[in-house]
């Protein structure tokens, strides 16, 4: 079946640095990808919708300058957490929409820990 | 805005038995999609089953089936012959019908943690 891959799966960084997380759709071209954030024992909260070749659409309350999303190709979307702080520590998950069926496939997730 | 409610934070089931996970939702739309996703300890979300609101027949996938009650806005998941590998977080999700870029976004419930007892 379709596969969506995220990298890195785990990352630890110092406060004030930036971290980039990649989301790749391996089996299909994804014009639309989504980025979620999941706190421990909680549900997935949509952060933004990433559309290939255009600006991302951010959900209310999500700082677009802090969470930079780039969807430069049909198989890759990146989330960059800029000037990370401990409160940004979380599990970040991406999903990609299959163009023919519309089904969403999820990446394995990336755990960010900011010291 | 749509909301999805899962009223059971945790459930447990004996291996080989049947368990039902509850989900209710609120929407003013008549056509939509409902999903159950499984998130095992590995954390990758896996689609378990989907239901189109216009279909009256309940969806089934092997040991997984749903009880879709559109009027009651209820969408429960039944797992038959539970296996140890079924232990995971289960999320109910809602999606509006497609109407443009970004319309495939999902609204998730808070999840139900299912434990399977050997």
Search chain B and give the residue with CA nearest A6. Answer: B44
Model pLDDT, residue A98: 84
Partner B contacted by A46 (CB < 8 A) = yes
Does the structure show a pLDDT above 90 at B67?
A: yes
Token pair listed for B106: 């999902």
CA distance linking residue A5 with residue A59, whole number of Å? 23
How many C-alpha atoms does A34 have within 13 Å on its Cβ side?
Answer: 23
| Residue among A57, A93, A103 whose CB faces B102 most closely | A57
Q: A57: which chain B residues are within 8 Å (Cβ-Cβ)?
A: 102
Specify the 3-state DSSP secondary structure of A37: strand
pLDDT digits (tens, 9 = 90+) for B13-46: 999 999 999 999 999 888 899 999 999 987 789 9
Closest by alpha carbon to A93, among B8, B106, B77, B48? B106
CA distance linking residue A27 with residue A4, whole number of Å? 8
CA distance linking residue A67 with residue B53, whole number of Å? 34
pLDDT digits (tens, 9 = 90+) for A6-22: 999 999 999 999 999 99
Model pLDDT, residue B106: 87
CA of A15, closest CA in chain B: separation in Å? 25
pLDDT digits (tens, 9 = 90+) for B77-101: 999 999 999 999 999 999 987 655 5
Q: What mean pLDDT comes out for the span A23-41?
A: 90
Write phi, then psi, for B86 (nearest 5 degrees): -80, -10
CA distance linking residue B3 with residue B93, whole number of Å? 9
Q: What mean pLDDT comes out for the span B56-79?
A: 96
Does the structure show a pLDDT above 80 at A115?
A: yes
CA distance linking residue B45 with residue B67, whole number of Å? 22
Q: B108: which chain A residues are within 8 Å (Cβ-Cβ)?
A: 43-44
CA distance linking residue B115 with residue B88, whole number of Å? 7
Token pair listed for B52: 């189109």
Q: B43: which chain A residues are within 8 Å (Cβ-Cβ)?
A: 91, 93, 108-109
Q: Do A108 and B44 touch (CB under 8 A)?
A: yes
Q: Name the residue with tokens 């050997």.
A: B118
CB B110 within 8 A of CB B42: no
Partner B contacted by A52 (CB < 8 A) = no
What confidence tier does A1 reach under pLDDT thresholds 50, 70, 90? low
CA distance linking residue A114 with residue A92, whole number of Å? 13
Mutating which of B34, B44, B95 best tests the A interface, going by the most A Cβ atoms within 10 A? B44
* CA–CA distances in Å: residue B9 to residues A94, B67, B90, B91, B110: 24, 19, 10, 11, 8
Mean pLDDT of chain A: 91
What confidence tier does A95 reach under pLDDT thresholds 50, 70, 90? very high
Does the structure show a pLDDT above 60 at A87?
A: yes
């Amino acid at each position: 079946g379709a596969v969506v891959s995220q990298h890195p799966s785990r990352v630890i960084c110092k406060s004030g640095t930036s971290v980039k997380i990649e989301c790749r759709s391996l089996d299909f071209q994804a014009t639309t990808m989504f980025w979620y954030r999941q706190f421990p024992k909680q549900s997935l909260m949509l952060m933004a919708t990433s559309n290939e070749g255009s600006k991302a659409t951010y959900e209310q309350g999500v700082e677009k300058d802090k969470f930079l999303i780039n969807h430069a190709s049909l198989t890759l979307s990146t989330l960059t957490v800029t000037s990370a702080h401990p409160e940004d520590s979380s599990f970040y998950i991406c999903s990609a929409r299959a163009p023919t069926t519309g089904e969403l496939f999820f990446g394995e997730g990336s755990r960010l820990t900011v010291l | 805005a749509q909301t999805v409610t899962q009223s059971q934070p945790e459930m447990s089931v004996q291996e080989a038995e049947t368990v039902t996970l509850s989900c209710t939702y609120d929407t003013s739309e008549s056509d939509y999609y409902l999903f159950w996703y499984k998130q095992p300890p590995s954390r990758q979300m896996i689609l378990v089953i989907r239901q189109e609101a216009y279909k009256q027949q309940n969806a089934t996938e092997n040991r997984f089936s749903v009880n879709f009650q559109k009027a009651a806005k209820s969408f429960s998941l039944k797992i038959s012959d539970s296996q140890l590998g079924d232990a995971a977080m289960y999320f109910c999700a809602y999606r509006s019908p497609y109407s443009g870029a970004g319309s495939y976004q999902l609204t998730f419930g808070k999840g139900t943690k299912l434990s399977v007892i050997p």
